[in-house]
Amino acid sequence: MLRPWISTNLAVSADGKISSVARQPTGWTSREDHLRLLELRRNADALMVGRGTLESDRMTLAVPGKSIQPLRCIVSRGGQLDPDHPVFRKPGGAIHLLVTESGSQPAAVDATIHRQDLAGFLATLASEYGVNQLHCEGGGSLIRSLAELDAIDEFHLTLAGHTLFGGLMAPTATGIPADFLPNALEFEISHFDPLLASGECFLSYRRWKNPAVSQ
Ligand SMILES: NC(=O)c1ccc[n+]([C@@H]2O[C@H](COP(=O)([O-])OP(=O)(O)OC[C@H]3O[C@@H](n4cnc5c(N)ncnc54)[C@H](OP(=O)(O)O)[C@@H]3O)[C@@H](O)[C@H]2O)c1
């Protein structure tokens, strides 16, 4: 599958949730975690989020101080976005909206619209827009779709030991707990940085494929 190298970044509570049942927006982790989020955006040619995260977190997907801004990619089935959302008002990279549902009428927003599936969109970004590194900031539903495609190369996690969200319907790193992924995906830990003062731990995992086993 032709695609960019893909990293993801999420903060999870001590009970494995990325938000509350009521979809509490970002802001519940430390300042250091926010700085790490910005740092992880730095090397990306493109940033990508699901529509749910874009809306709940009011994201602009910009990288402060970077002269060439990464593309801002939004993934949606129906493409129903608010044209007054900050992402369309604040400066940043070109906006690309993936709309996967055939027959849907996306909102009139200032973005290049792509009508294909997620795998096709990843291929388009690599082949037509020169995206070598794509960084995905969630949410759980979109990360689950990437995991189903086995399209995650590096998984950054902030384990936030200070928070328990609870709630069966609170999203996890792969969305609302549901069916298992079709296959287990193996990752190896590449970074471990506990921060006692904030009660958080920064972790990174790299996808590991056993060369002896055909995948
Ligand atoms: N703790 C963290 O680090 C972190 C990070 C990110 C998000 N969050 C939180 O997570 C919550 C949102 O989670 P979520 O799972 O609902 O968010 P999400 O994945 O950002 O958004 C879900 C929506 O994105 C679109 N989508 C996702 N995967 C798709 C696919 N494969 N094809 C087409 N469209 C796709 C759909 O949009 P349409 O409805 O338009 O079809 C879907 O309803 C928020 O509370 C946010 O604050 C936390």
CA dihedral over 34, 74, 25, 9, signed as positive or negative: negative
Q: Where residue 169 falls among pLDDT bands split at 50, 70, 90?
A: very high
Residue 113 domain flag: yes
The Cβ of residue 65 has, within 10 Å, a number of other Cβ atoms equal to 7
> How far is 182 from 148, CA to CA, in rounded Å?
7
Mutate to test the pocket of ligand 1, among 21, 75, 156 (most ligand atoms within 8 A of CB): 75
| Number of residues in the chain | 215
Q: What pLDDT is stored for residue 33 in this prediction?
A: 97
Residue 213 domain flag: no
Q: Alpha helices of 58-152 — where are they, by DSSP H?
A: 86-89, 118-129, 140-148
Distance 201 CA to ligand 1 centre (A): 24
Which residue, judged by its Cα, is nearest atom 45 of ligand 1?
23
Number of domains in the chain: 1
Domain that holds residue 128: 5-207
Q: What pLDDT is stored for residue 212 in this prediction?
A: 74
Q: Ligand 1 within 6 A of 25 CB?
A: yes
Summarised one tens digit per residue, pLDDT across range 179-204 is: 889 889 999 999 999 999 999 999 99
Which residue, judged by its Cα, is nearest atom 36 of ligand 1?
76
Share of the chain above pLDDT 70, in %: 99
Q: What is the CATH number of the domain that holds 99?
A: 3.40.430.10
Residue 185 domain flag: yes
Distance 157 CA to ligand 1 centre (A): 17
Residue 215 domain flag: no
The pTM of this model reads 0.96
* Position in ligand 1 atom list of the atom nearest CA 20: 45
Does residue 214 carry a pLDDT above 60?
no
